[in-house]
Amino acid sequence: MTEPAPGTPVPGPDRTRPIVVGTDGSDHARRAVLFALHEAQLRGVPVRAVCAYDFTPDRYTAYGWMAIPNPASDVYTHMRDTALDDVGKTVEELRREVGGPEVEVEIVAQQGRPAEVLLEEAKHAGLLVVGSRGSGLWGRLTLGSTSTEVVHHAHIPVVVVPAKGEEGGKG
């Protein structure tokens, strides 16, 4: 392999745009956040940790077990604030675990289908990171496979962090 001429840009990861990582409180999402923090340190870019939650009226009427919340009530604000708080605590814990140079992290909690929210938040990102499956509080409330959907529709590189034990023999 030949070396590029001096001053020639070296192809590789985009070192100017943030890394977007999906998080939902599950162990799979924690692994994705850890990966994103490590990668952000290597690239010298910030991270946007995104928690999407879907509490639309269709969710309630599909199951028929709960009354539809009044959009004017503060239940949606409470859900967003709870998600922001949970993600913030997780990110701070994982930052300590990662150590090294601190990575700037923006935390976003957005109502909507997780794949749609992640794809929208990642429009100007350099990388999108998701866990292989969600099973936390927020993940159990979603339908379908977020990781599969983002892999098929993202216009940027996507990393799907495997569940523990699914890394080809590494634990």
Q: Where are the domains of the chain?
A: 25-161
Burial of residue 61 (CB within 10 Å: 0-12, 13-18, 19+) is exposed
Token pair for 98:
């990662």
**Cα dihedral angle (123, 129, 132, 138), rounded to 10 degrees?**
-70
Token pair for 24:
């939902």
Closest C-alpha to 107, from 32, 48, 53: 48
pLDDT in tens, 45-94: 999 999 987 766 555 555 555 555 565 567 778 888 888 899 999 999 99
pLDDT in tens, 89-133: 999 999 999 998 999 999 999 888 899 999 999 999 999 999 986
CB of 135 closer than 8 Å to CB of 163 = no
For the domain covering 25-161, report its CATH number: 3.40.50.620
Strand order in the sheet with 47-53: 105-111, 47-53, 19-22, 127-131, 158-161
CA distance 30 to 116: 20
**Cα dihedral angle (105, 86, 94, 157), rounded to 10 degrees?**
-50
